Chains A and B, each alone.
Chain A
């Protein structure tokens, strides 16, 4: 399975944009890039996913590099409620194990008031 690497932790000031990077240099052509986050004492929640094009939704934006070897989750205005662990996950649509959602260590985001 293709792997992802993320910084262990990041800090952001409240109401400023946050760019959370993810490297996936061995990504295959059929891998979707998914992001989840886990707030303290809660189950993970889906944030966004994409294949090749940049994606926007009400929670965040996903910027995917042209070669797809990296991606960036963008929170446009960080709030204190965005303090969480953010996970970047690859899901291969062609694999028989596509059913799996495998978590790496993730990035712990702190938001400073």
Chain B
């Protein structure tokens, strides 16, 4: 059974039209991550939450925002998508402490901007 679920798998949005990607988890992990992955590149961390504490990477554009209303759900909001924001967006979770701190990833949402 999927433990990190991303919806939708494919999203098409218009240039400049706000779009929200969603992620849910059944693992009760306190850390959640959002990554952007462009073709033939490694995933790039955008931001992460430790519980409700939000941590933004220094080079994440202001166009990208996130919300985590509870432990299970996390959202990525792209306020004004540009053509350069077309990518796979990956959500992941992990425990912060203890022996088993491996990260679990969703299957990703592939965003197309037209």
How distant is the Cα of A42 from the Cα of B90 in the complex, in angstroms?
A: 10
Decide if A44 touches B43 in the complex (CB within 8 Å): yes
Decide if B108 touches A43 in the complex (CB within 8 Å): yes
Decide if B43 touches A91 in the complex (CB within 8 Å): no
Residues from chain A with a CB closer than 8 A to the CB of B92 are 43-44, 101
Decide if A99 touches B42 in the complex (CB within 8 Å): no
Residues from chain A with a CB closer than 8 A to the CB of B105 are 43-45
How distant is the Cα of A106 from the Cα of B113 in the complex, in angstroms?
A: 27
Evaluate whether A99 and B108 lie within 8 angstroms (CB atoms) in the complex, with A46-B103, A104-B42 already known.
Answer: no
Say whether chain A's binding surface is mostly helix, strand, loop, or mixed.
loop
Decide if A43 touches B48 in the complex (CB within 8 Å): no
Decide if A100 touches B42 in the complex (CB within 8 Å): no
Residues from chain B with a CB closer than 8 A to the CB of A102 are 45
* B residues contacting the other copy or chain, number (CB 8 A): 23
Say whether chain B's binding surface is mostly helix, strand, loop, or mixed.
strand
Within 8 A of A (CB), among B61-114: 90, 92, 94, 96, 101-108
Decide if B90 touches A99 in the complex (CB within 8 Å): no
Residues from chain A with a CB closer than 8 A to the CB of B35 are 103
* A68 contacts the other chain (CB 8 A): no
Residues from chain B with a CB closer than 8 A to the CB of A104 are 42
Decide if A34 touches B43 in the complex (CB within 8 Å): no
Question: Which residues of B are in contact with A by a Cβ distance under 8 Å?
Answer: 4, 31, 33, 35, 42-45, 48, 50, 55, 90, 92, 94, 96, 101-108
Question: Which residues of A are in contact with B by a Cβ distance under 8 Å?
Answer: 32, 34, 36, 38, 42-46, 49, 85, 87, 91, 97-106
